[in-house]
């Protein structure tokens, strides 16, 4: 079993390792006739690329995208779209410790337990370098859902949350944290820098909103839109929790508080609240889809952690190399990409069963 492919109608497969010559994605099932060039993909990769501030890994990769197939005269042909990004800044010697002993919290031990052999350089296939391929595929997915607006931001780092009263979407691109609250962004500079200097790391919460999704996408029961989105988000490296709408907070409300009251509207019901996060019964309600994703702190840290070697001997590991002090920051474009990939697939699935809306 391999599991490198995601989606049903709009499907993508990613390939490649952190320190191999290149990584990429093959997008299959994309409708024909869509205008597509590298320029549609590159801005999303630029948002995710490493080395843009001292708050992310100092690995420097231009992450230039190349489209190898599936596009003719600037339009998708309906055949597989092959996307490639070269790896240009590897330092495999940084991983000599990881070859010998397991990083607690990383994939080293379970990969060895399962496969008995692993490419330890940069974490190999378990490296979040793979998420660049998802971001590239996500840019193609966005072309399938032009009426859907997707954006994500960091709402919490190391337990320090934004103030919702100061939320300003225009601020998200103005700081290195994708933070909509300028005061929180200022605090986070100190917080993340201190953690980095300590050789430690911090967790983060990323929130994502998709508006413009019509009522009716999704399916009941085993392919609920909630479960598709949760699976997509949980597949991202370092994600340990997903909440749809009010999520766990809904469990602390009473029924009347958690209801999303409806009034008659011009084009379907007019909702007075959105505790459900735009999904009920596994199907979109036409309200914005809202979700929250919890990223754990980076496991590769300079503070020594007790571990065992491949031979089972007691050891301590200090992980050198260039690591993100808070992986949730660069997780923002990845969350947006997974949202786009799920929604593009859901649009095509809905059209297959119910016809054009």
Residues that bind ligand FMN (CB under 6 A): 57, 106-107, 123, 126-128, 131, 236-238, 298-300, 323-324, 327, 330-331, 334
Least distance in Å: CB of 236 to ligand FMN? 5
Place of tokens 């240009």: 88
To ligand FMN, the closest distance from the beta carbon of 50 in angstroms equals 8
Distance CA 11, CA 330 (A): 23
Which phi and psi (to 5°) does residue 205 adopt? -115, 130
Nearer to ligand FMN, 284 or 319 (CB): 319
The rounded distance, in Å, linking the Cα atoms of 337 and 43 is: 12
Report which of 124, 179, 116 is spatially closest to residue 153, judged by C-alpha positions: 179
Tell me if 201 is assigned to a ligand binding site.
Answer: no
Is 54 marked within a binding site? Answer: yes
200 marked ligand binding residue: no
How far apart are the C-alpha atoms of 145 and 107, rounded to whole Å?
Answer: 34
Helix (H, G, I), strand (E, B) or coil at 4: coil
Task: Give min distance, CB of 330 to ligand FMN, in A.
Answer: 4
* Token pair recorded at residue 335: 């969350």
300 is in an annotated binding site: yes
The residue (of 127 and 287) whose beta carbon lies closer to ligand FMN is 127
Rounded CA-CA distance 155/3 in Å is 31
Only one residue has tokens 């940084």, namely 94
Are residues 119 and 107 in contact, defined by beta-carbon separation less than 8 angstroms? no
Comparison of 30 and 334: residue with beta carbon closer to ligand FMN: 334
Query: Between residues 154 and 184, which has the closer beta carbon with respect to ligand FMN?
Result: 154
Of 232 and 238, the one with the shorter C-beta distance to ligand FMN is 238
Is 37 annotated in a binding site? The answer is: no
| 182 known member of a binding site | no
Tell me the binding residues: 48, 54, 125-127, 237-238, 281, 296-300, 322
Tell me the binding residues for NADP(+): 48, 54
């Amino acid at each position: 079993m391999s599991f490198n492919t995601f989606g049903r109608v709009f499907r993508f497969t990613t390939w490649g390792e952190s320190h191999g010559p290149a990584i990429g994605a093959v997008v299959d099932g994309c409708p024909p006739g869509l205008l597509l060039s590298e320029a549609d993909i590159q801005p999303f990769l630029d948002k995710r690329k490493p080395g843009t501030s001292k708050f992310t890994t100092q690995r420097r990769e231009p992450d230039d995208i190349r489209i190898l197939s599936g596009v003719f005269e600037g339009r998708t042909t309906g055949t597989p779209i092959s996307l490639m990004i070269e790896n240009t800044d590897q330092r495999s010697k940084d991983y000599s410790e990881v070859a010998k002993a397991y990083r607690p919290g990383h994939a080293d031990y379970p990969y060895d337990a399962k496969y008995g052999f692993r490419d330890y350089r940069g974490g190999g296939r378990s490296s979040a370098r793979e998420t660049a391929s998802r971001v590239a595929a996500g840019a193609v997915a966005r072309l399938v859902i032009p009426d859907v607006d997707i954006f994500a931001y960091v709402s919490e780092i190391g337990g320090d949350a934004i103030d919702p009263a100061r939320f300003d979407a225009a601020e998200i691109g103005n700081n290195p944290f994708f933070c909509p609250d300028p005061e929180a962004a200022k605090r986070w500079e100190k917080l993340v820098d201190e953690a980095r200097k300590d050789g430690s790391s911090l967790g983060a919460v990323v929130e994502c909103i998709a508006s413009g999704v019509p009522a009716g996408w999704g399916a009941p029961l085993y392919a609920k839109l909630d479960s598709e989105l949760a699976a997509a988000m949980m597949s991202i490296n370092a994600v340990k929790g997903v909440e749809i709408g009010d999520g766990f907070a809904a469990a602390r409300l009473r029924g009347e508080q958690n209801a999303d009251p409806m009034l008659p509207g011009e084009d379907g019901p007019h909702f007075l609240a959105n505790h459900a996060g735009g999904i009920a019964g596994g199907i979109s309600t036409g309200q914005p889809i809202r979700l929250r994703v919890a990223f754990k702190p980076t496991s590769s840290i300079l503070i020594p952690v007790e571990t065992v070697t491949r031979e089972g001997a007691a050891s301590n590991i200090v992980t050198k190399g260039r690591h993100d002090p808070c992986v949730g920051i660069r997780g923002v474009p990845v969350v947006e990409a997974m949202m786009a990939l799920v929604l593009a697939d859901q649009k095509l699935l809905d059209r297959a069963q119910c016809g054009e809306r």
